[in-house]
Chain A
Amino acid sequence: MSEREQANILMVDDQPGKLMSYEAILKDLGENLIQARSASEALDCLLHNDVAVVLMDVSMPEMDGFELADMIRHHPRFQKLAIIFISAVHLTDLDRIKAYQSGAVDYISVPVVPELLRAKVSVFAELHRKNRQLERLNRELEDRVAERTEQLRQSEDQLRERADLLELATEAIFVRDMDGILLYWNSGAETLYGWHRQEVLGKPIHVILKTRFPVEFDEVQGVLARTGKWNGTLVQFTRDGQEVTVACRKALKAGGSAILEINRDITAQLKAEDALRKTERLAAMGRVAGIIAHEINNPLEAITNTFYLLRDNPSLDTEARYLAQLGEQELLRVAHITRQTLGFYRESQSPVDVAIPDLLDEILELQSRRIEFGNVVLEKRYRSRGTIRGFPVELKQVFLNLLGNAVQAMPEGGKLRLHVFESTSLGHRRPDVRIRICDTGVGIEAEHAKHLFEPFFTTKSAKGTGLGLWISRGIIQKYGGSIRFRSASFKGMKMTCFQVTLPDVDVPASLETTPAAPGATALAGVSNAG
């Protein structure tokens, strides 16, 4: 050991000669020798140095060795300090020395044998050194343990923070292995999909969610393997069967052992965008309608007038008159659709009381031939007088359209149910009038249902204009009402119900003041659209 640490050896004696002789004996040990002439000097030295062993004469004038030893031992730091007494061999001394059994205590009798003293001091010095080394190692070990503990605590904090973050996230976050087996599932995922952690962990997650990928799954896997990530939109199903659209980010975990997926629900967002697009389209349609109205109506009037004059012109022969009539007829069709799309007129300037049942009966009268010949059974239930303030022609158009659609939906015959009743909506003082029109016809396909109220949507190909329901809804909304429908099949029989709700409130004043020409019938036409 080249870097052996020197141990401090304290030699206490009142006679300088003796101290010098001990020093001479111990010099060769290579330790650090400290001399003290008195007990107080010795104590002072002990307090300021890390002493390995104390060598002391039992008999000193000021304070004898035993007294000093007692004092030393009372100090907690020095309870295990090695002490070698140097004494003439008296029995009494030996007995007293034995009383120190617990500590490292030895004695040497006078005359001192140098080898013996050296050996004893050397043993204690070495023992001290070993102790110190052990202590140091211990301390180091403790430090290292503390350090490691702190590291662990920090990474644990980090993990907990990360876990908290994962749990706080509103996104659905989960980890699956390369076989699609779910390893982790955060609360965001529980909220979005309705599946509890325990129910799905360890299961093939995309099978459970019935995930529809926008591209082939192999392609997704390919991109993941190549680039380590994949982004796209997925369609999935929640636990209660609801379809959700999610923006998905997938990332391959380092080492390629698992895939992290973060899915954000964008269903509502897409719906809002869809609605906005629809609204924008309708607004654009309105603007276009205004422009078209002027450009079409002007020549249309001129042509209509021309045919009117032509028809009665005496110079025409029979064939020419027939042709003029054909032209006039076709022109009526154009005028009809133009009136429906671009017209605005009302038959009277201010709204009147309209009894819905009377209005319906009037329309049924108009349709009576179709109903009779069409083998349609009519069932009327008027539970209300159903009077609202409005414009009869507009309302007639709405119900002519709905009833016409219902009858047309039953080419093989069926049952037409008409139901008028009252019901009070939340926030309305007076009850609403509700009109329900149900048929047992061909029904409405699910994919058509979404577009039913859109302009130019028709299922009747050449026969329909695709405007009937669009215009009807426009009129109903103007009255502050609503129109809903439901199509269902039960035991092989299909049933389609339209329900119109009209609040029993006055039409807003702004609508009343709009002037209209007497006798104008622009909205009176019937649409065949569905």
Chain B
Amino acid sequence: MRGDGITILCVDDEETPRIVRALMLRSRGYNVIAAASAAEALKALEHGAIDLILSDQMMPAMSGTELTKLVKATYPRIPVILISGMNEVPADALDADAFIPKLGGPELLFTTIREVLILYRLME
């Protein structure tokens, strides 16, 4: 399954990882909208047309799980995948649809996105 027509909101406070991750997603055919913070991400959501949110967990001001809670309250049909460089899993990680390690590598990232999208499509 290629990412044709799918738009992913890519959230990360660190510039280089954000840019590279966005490039990765585009290489698989996804449209990508990048946001440097949870606040930016929420603003982007207001403009609509987001199919999936891929967010870093550890961000200043608002963490990935906090962002997830807000998204789930307002946009329950948009799946959220959290990606983390920490070696501890936060207690509320289950609020997201998936919680994966940055060390999982590109294949884990792509697989997870695909699985989550399929799950949401099946639920529709």
Which A residues have a C-beta under 8 Å from some C-beta of B? 289-290, 293-294, 296-302, 304-306, 308-309, 312, 335, 338-339, 342-345, 514-522
Contact = CB atoms under 8 A, between A and B. Distances in A.
A520 B17 contact: no
Interface stretch (B31-39, B41-49, B70-78, B96-104): B96-104
B85 A294 contact: yes
Contact of A294 (B86, B105, B111): B86
B103 A297 contact: yes
Contacts, number: 101
B94 interface: yes
Given A515-B94, A517-B108, A520-B108, A301 B87 contact: no
Interface residues of B, number: 30
Contacts of B17: 298-299, 301-302, 305
Given A517-B98, A518-B112, A305 B87 contact: no
B62 to A, nearest CB: 17
B108 A301 contact: no
Contacts of B93: 515
7 contacts: A297-B85, A305-B23, A308-B106, A338-B103, A339-B103, A518-B115, A520-B108
Contacts of A308: 24, 106
A302 B16 contact: yes
Interface of B: 14, 16-17, 20-21, 23-24, 27, 58, 83, 85-89, 93-94, 98-106, 108, 111-112, 115
A335 B20 CA distance: 17
B111 A519 contact: yes
A257 B78 CA distance: 93
A298 B85 contact: yes
B86 A305 contact: no
A151 to B, nearest CB: 77
B24 A309 contact: yes
A297 B58 CA distance: 12
Contacts of A338: 103
Contact of A305 (B20, B58, B101): B20
B22 to A, nearest CB: 10
Q: Count chain A CB atoms within 10 A of each CB in B86, B87, B106, B112 and give the residue with the most.
A: B87
